[in-house]
Amino acid sequence: MNPRIGVFGGTFDPIHHAHLRMARAFAAELQLDEVRLIPAGQPYHRDSGPRASPAERLEMVRLAVAGEPALRADDREIRRPRAAYTVETLRELRAELGPAAELWFLIGGDSLAQLSSWKAWRELFALANLAVALRPGFDPDQLPPPVLDEWRTRQVHDFSNRTASGTIRPLALPPLDLSATRLRAMLAADEAVDGLIDPAVLAYIRRQGLYR
């Protein structure tokens, strides 16, 4: 049976329980064998860089997914000495997994609306399927025309014809109701964050003196 692999990228600055809930739901809804959580090394789309270093953010992801057999930390973007582009990451994964592997890239509705500004964005469909986590009130008719055309052509709602790449599947995943920005502010103010972040990650943050 061909592997079913999910890709969940982000700065993870820091990774928290909302990220983990999203990754677990992603794996469950698409019946994935594994979800790769890939911290961005040098995000090209942010005006200011992450607060924690690439190595620190990778270690936090590793700590957060320890003991979760369906979740795995992937360091490929951390190892790049320059900005990381999604198309390059998916090219690497496709080369490693082979043409028959079922590869899914998780994206939010807000990012979907910006998809046509991404590097080689149409090539993404030759490399992977797109799983789109939609917030309530999402209106596909507001998508830019090039993206709307792809949405209408490639959208699927069931698994009757699973494919290695090329489809778009809307997902009703739990919303990320906790932001890393809010969590950093709470950590800086020395507020209680119990239930919001993995205890091993919190212990690491305190040892390293992060987000003060």
Among 83-87, 126-130, 186-190, name the one with the lowest average pLDDT: 83-87
Residue 105: HSE in the Cβ half-sphere, 13 Å Cα cutoff: 29
Q: How confident is the model at residue 49 (pLDDT cuts 50, 70, 90)?
A: low
Check whether 114 has a pLDDT greater than 70: yes
Q: Which residue has the tokens 């390059």?
A: 88
Order of strands, sheet of 129-133, starting from the edge strand that comes earlier in the sequence: 71-73, 34-39, 4-10, 102-108, 129-133, 168-171
Check whether 209 has a pLDDT greater than 60: yes
pLDDT of residue 31: 95
Number of residues in the chain: 212
User: What is the rounded average pLDDT of the residues 64-77?
Assistant: 96
pLDDT of residue 48: 55
Check whether 36 has a pLDDT greater than 70: yes
User: What is the rounded average pLDDT of the residues 48-74?
Assistant: 92
User: What is the rounded average pLDDT of the residues 87-96?
Assistant: 97
**Cβ neighbours around 65 below 10 Å, total:** 21
Check whether 99 has a pLDDT greater than 70: yes
The fraction of the chain above a pLDDT of 70, given in percent, is 96
pLDDT of residue 43: 58
pLDDT of residue 160: 79
pLDDT of residue 44: 54
User: What is the rounded average pLDDT of the residues 96-119?
Assistant: 96
Higher confidence at residue 48 or residue 137? 137
Does residue 167 come out as left (phi exceeding 0), alpha (psi in the -120 to 50 range) or beta? beta
**Nearest of 19, 12, 15 to residue 41 by alpha carbon:** 12
- What are 160-205's pLDDT values in tens digits? 779 999 999 999 887 777 899 999 999 999 999 989 999 999 999 9
Question: pTM to 2 decimals?
Answer: 0.93
Among 39-48, 78-87, 180-189, name the one with the lowest average pLDDT: 39-48
**Cβ neighbours around 194 below 10 Å, total:** 7
Q: How confident is the model at residue 98 (pLDDT cuts 50, 70, 90)?
A: very high
